[in-house]
């Protein structure tokens, strides 16, 4: 697991570290999330979970590549359950 302060830094780290799931924290309308998700999936297949704050500001196409979308404030309760569903045990 790793955390990055920007999408660009996250893509660079993703090239070096193998992960099963990427959680992207949406800011604004999600346009940047769509670009980041596309860049990650061009590197290798990965499940993407998007955290959203205000669904009213969300560009519907920004989450097309996401395996799941979770409302901010509910991530603690939903993320663990979701990851158990999405990621097979090793």
Domain count along the chain: 1
Mean pLDDT of 35-63: 86
pLDDT band at 90 (very low <50, low <70, confident <90, very high): low
The CATH number assigned to the domain holding 17 equals 3.40.50.1010
Q: Has residue 57 been placed in a domain? A: yes
pTM of the entire predicted model: 0.84
Q: Has residue 2 been placed in a domain? A: no
Give the Cα separation of 11 and 73 in Å (integer). 25
Q: What is the pLDDT of residue 15?
A: 94
In this predicted structure, the answer to whether residue 33 has a pLDDT above a threshold of 90 is no
Q: Has residue 32 been placed in a domain? A: yes
Q: Has residue 28 been placed in a domain? A: yes
Q: What is the pLDDT of residue 55?
A: 72
């Amino acid at each position: 697991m790793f955390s990055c302060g920007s999408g660009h830094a996250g893509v660079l780290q993703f090239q070096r570290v193998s992960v099963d799931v990427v959680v992207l924290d949406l800011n604004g309308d999600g346009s940047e999330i769509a670009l980041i998700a596309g860049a990650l999936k061009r590197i290798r297949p990965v499940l993407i979970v998007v955290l959203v704050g205000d669904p009213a500001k969300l560009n519907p196409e920004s989450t097309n590549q996401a395996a799941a979308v979770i409302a901010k404030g509910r991530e603690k309760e939903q993320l663990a359950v979701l990851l158990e569903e999405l990621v097979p045990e090793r």
